[in-house]
Amino acid sequence: MDPMTPFPHQLELISFPDSDFAYVIDELLNLLHSFPEILERLEADLDRHALVLKQARLNHRRACAGTPHLSGLDDPNSVEAMTPSELKLGIGRRRMSPQDVLFCLVCRYYLDGVKSVSARGFFAESRTVARYFWQQGRSCPAGSTITHNVNLVSQATLVLVLDRIVTTIRSRNLDDFAEVTLDSTAVRGNTAWPADSELIAKIARRLHRGLCQPILENVATSMASRIGVRCEDIEAARRSIALASGKGAKVVRQHHYGLMIDAAEYLSQEMGGILDHLATWEHGHRPGSRGYQRWMEWQARMTEDVSQLDSLIHTTCRRVIEQEKVGTAERVLRVVDPSIAWIEKGGREPEVGYRVQVAKSARQFVVAGSKPRLLAPPPTPEAPSGEVCTSPQAA
C-alpha cells in the first residue's frame, strides 16, 4: 500500500468527513469554480519556474558537450519555443497541477506547515486528503514535492486569492467590512525600537538552523554544536535585556548587550570560517542540477545573514555601548521574520516601515496580512497600535 494513499479502494463508500478541514476544502473548490483565473495565475507561476529549470538544464547540457550557445544564432532547443506541458518528466515539466498546489498551500496554512511529523501523518491519514486526490485521479505527492511547489506561488497570486475570498464573502452578505482592525507588530515591553537584541538573536538562530540542514550531509555537525552554544549565550542575553526594568535598567541592558555582542562576534567569525571551508567542499552536485541550485542558494543565504549580523554588531556597539545616534539608513531594521519590524516611536506611517501582521473585520474575517495600504488609508499618527478603521472601503 502506498503510504501517501491510505484508502486505495472504494473511497466512494466513505462518507464525506464532517470536519472543519473538510469544510475549508469544500469552500476552496467552490472558490476555484467561481474564479478560474486563480488557476491561470498559479499555472503561470509554475510555468515560469519550469522554464528557468529547463534553461538551466540546457546550459548544463551545452557545458558537458563543450558547445556553448552563441548569441545571434538560432537555438534548436530554445526555451521560448517550448511550454512546460511539452517537456518530458524530469527535464522541466511541473510535477503538480495548479489546483493541487493550491490545495497543499491551504493545507500548509491550516496545519501551520507541511514538513513536520504531524503534518506528514495528517497527509497519510486524513480521509479528506485521500478523497480529494481520489476524485482528481491522482496520488498524493511526496512531502518534498509539496514543499517545493507551494514555495513557487508568488505574492501577487496570494493577493489575488485573498481578494477573491473577500469578494465571495461580500457576495454572500457575510460581512460588509465596514470596520477593519489593524493588528500591528508586537514587541516586548522593555525592548528598544526596534530591539537590536531581537534582530541579533533571530539571525543567530537562523544561522544555526542553516547548519543543521540535510543538504550538508552531517559535514557541519560539530560546527553546528559550537554555534549552538553561542546561540544559547545570545538567547540568554536577549531574555535579560527584555526583562530589565526599573532603576538601573539602562546599565543592566548595556551589560547584557556587551555579553551579546561578544558572543555574536565569535559567532560571526566562526561562521565566516565555516563558509570558507564549505566553499571548497566536494558537495557532489552537477552544475545546473536541482541539488546544485539548492546548494548555491544556501550559500548565498548564509553569507547574507553573516553580513547582516556584522552590520548589526557594528551599529549596536555605536548605539547602545557608545551612545551614538545612528541614523535609520545605517541600521538593519528587520530580517525575514515579519514579527520583527522597525516602528518609529510616535509615528504610524507605512512609509516609515509600519507593518500590519494581520487585519480582521468585525466578524473575524482575515482581509490582509501584510500592508495596511491594501485595506485603507494609513491611520493618523495619534492612533494607538491596534486601531480600528471605520472606512467603508477598508477591505
**In this predicted structure, what is the pLDDT of residue 178?**
76
Examine residue 66 and state whether it is found in any structural domain, yes or no. yes
Examine residue 168 and state whether it is found in any structural domain, yes or no. no
Of 218, 192, 213, 211, nearest in space to 312 by CA: 192
Do 228 and 115 sit in the same domain of this protein?
no
Examine residue 133 and state whether it is found in any structural domain, yes or no. yes
Residue span of the structural domain in which 71 resides? 11-156
Task: Report phi then psi at 389, rounded to 5.
Answer: -90, 130
Do 17 and 152 sit in the same domain of this protein?
yes
**In this predicted structure, what is the pLDDT of residue 278?**
74
304 CA to centre of own chain? 16
Residue at a domain's end among 330, 349, 384: 330
Examine residue 310 and state whether it is found in any structural domain, yes or no. yes
Do 212 and 256 sit in the same domain of this protein?
yes
Q: Each residue's pLDDT tens digit in the chain (395 positions)?
A: 454 444 444 545 455 667 888 888 888 999 999 999 999 999 888 888 877 777 777 777 777 776 555 555 555 555 545 555 555 545 545 578 889 999 998 888 888 778 778 888 888 888 888 888 888 888 888 888 888 888 888 888 988 998 898 888 888 888 877 777 665 544 443 334 457 888 888 888 888 888 777 666 555 566 777 888 888 999 999 888 888 877 888 888 889 999 999 999 999 988 888 888 777 766 566 666 777 777 778 888 888 888 888 888 888 888 888 888 776 556 655 554 433 344 444 443 433 334 445 666 777 676 665 443 333 333 444 433 333 333 333 33
pTM of the model: 0.48
Do 247 and 367 sit in the same domain of this protein?
no
Q: Are 152 and 49 in contact (CB under 8 A)?
A: yes
Q: Are 53 and 290 in contact (CB under 8 A)?
A: yes
Do 15 and 150 sit in the same domain of this protein?
yes
Examine residue 59 and state whether it is found in any structural domain, yes or no. yes
Do 33 and 72 sit in the same domain of this protein?
yes
Number of domains making up the chain: 3
Examine residue 167 and state whether it is found in any structural domain, yes or no. no
